[in-house]
Structure 1
């Protein structure tokens, strides 16, 4: 969604398609999540939910979420008292390779809710905020799989890719150029090799002098992403490009 106008047009078409359906309150609220956005307002005046997922693997078509972490950034300040941190039972085998990365073992997930049961709690936390992830195509692909299965449509929140922001605003000499048409649900999103080739969050945080609390925990990585987002918003403002439209231009494909 390269512009807010495009996002709203797609959202309007979805609303027309769903107008005869009686949607649950959370789904109906998500459908209206673009209504309050004004591209001419300062980007720093909006609320952001910064999310990170831990999963059983890198392919959203067959792998599953095992943890969702999210933090709020409001008026460019991280609200540590408002966090979402939930283990998720994937309902499938946990590969040893995944355990070595995030340290989540099956016994920790035995009594955890399923992804479908966790989704509503996350939607309630998310509200109509702008959604941010690093990289967005990966996390949003997993979340949209749940949304499609439960409600029949994708998340409608404006979504910003924090890695794109870093590439275009902060670390232009460090990061390789990304393809401009990856697609959140296309083949690229299910390509583990593409995910591995990207400079990871840890390297970018180190470059910016940001310490990650509990690397590869969902909430720890979400917090680091939120701190990077703060830098990006400040950079936009410093260069006179601090409107929401400028953020969208820098943080979407």
Structure 2
């Protein structure tokens, strides 16, 4: 039976998972040959939070989009149900996404961080999603909208995972820590690999 992956992306009100919250979740469940489903949810603002103007400008998400969104805890529970118990969770910057999921009591037993994968395969290049996509001719129209980033992450994984496997590079449940982007959260069950400063 083919392995099932659930590719995810979150948009949030800011970077600090202890002070900010999720505003959008997108996911695609696939075995890389067949797509089994897509999920996209807006998440309501809680605790008196407002949507910062720069986040609205970056993502294109407006406050009215969130006015009928799902409560963060319920949104994360829905994502967990969608992914299922045996899915490998894939995110481009897993420590970031997983920090917000952990606050809402969700962790992944098996995961791939495609940012770590990119850093391990191309250590002297930028591992940002935009840079990886540009190098490999992957479409990233509408960057910083969750579903657009999910679809791009699928293609990044398609390109880079076979290279890592051919070189014997271990990338599953691996995150990278580097001087230019130190880890602020280490996901459950993760191995941390230290890399030298080259590119962000």
Give the TM-score of the pair, scaled to structure 1: 0.63
- The answer on 1:88 being equivalent to 2:46 is no
1:164-175 matches, within 5 Å, as 164-169=116-121, 171-175=122-126
Give the TM-score of the pair, scaled to structure 2: 0.79
Contact persistence 2:91–2:114 (CA under 8 A)? yes
Shift of 1:227: 0.8
Shift of 1:250: 5.8
- The answer on 1:226 being equivalent to 2:154 is yes
Partner of 2:172: 248
Q: Which has the higher strand share?
A: 2
Contact persistence 1:52–1:69 (CA under 8 A)? yes
1:123-142 matches, within 5 Å, as 123-127=80-84, 128-142=86-100
Q: 1:107 to 1:250 in 2, by over 3 A?
A: closer
Is there any run of 5+ residues in structure 1 with no aligned partner, and where? 1-43, 148-153, 176-198
Contact persistence 1:168–1:250 (CA under 8 A)? no
User: CA RMSD of the aligned region, Å?
Assistant: 2.1
Contact persistence 1:54–1:68 (CA under 8 A)? yes
Shift of 1:48: 1.2
State which of 110, 119, 134 in structure 2 corresponds to 1:158. Answer: 110
Contact persistence 2:27–2:150 (CA under 8 A)? yes
Q: How many residues align?
A: 174
Shift of 1:86: 0.8
Taking the aligned partners of 2:3 and 2:141, their CA distance within structure 1 comes to 25
Q: Which has the larger radius of gyration?
A: 1
Kindly provide the CA deviation profile for residues 149-193 of structure 1, in whole angstroms up to 9, marking residues without a partner as x.
Answer: xxxxx4142122111101112x22213xxxxxxxxxxxxxxxxxx
Kindly provide the CA deviation profile for residues 198-222 of structure 1, in whole angstroms up to 9, marking residues without a partner as x.
Answer: x521111111110114211101101
Q: 1:114 to 1:163 in 2, by over 3 A?
A: same
- The answer on 1:77 being equivalent to 2:29 is no
**RCO higher in structure (CA 8 A, sep ≥6):** 1
Is there any run of 5+ residues in structure 2 with no aligned partner, and where? 176-190, 193-200
Taking the aligned partners of 2:173 and 2:89, their CA distance within structure 1 comes to 15
Shift of 1:113: 1.1
Q: 1:100 to 1:78 in 2, by over 3 A?
A: farther
Taking the aligned partners of 2:173 and 2:69, their CA distance within structure 1 comes to 38
Q: 1:227 to 1:65 in 2, by over 3 A?
A: same
Q: 1:95 to 1:65 in 2, by over 3 A?
A: same
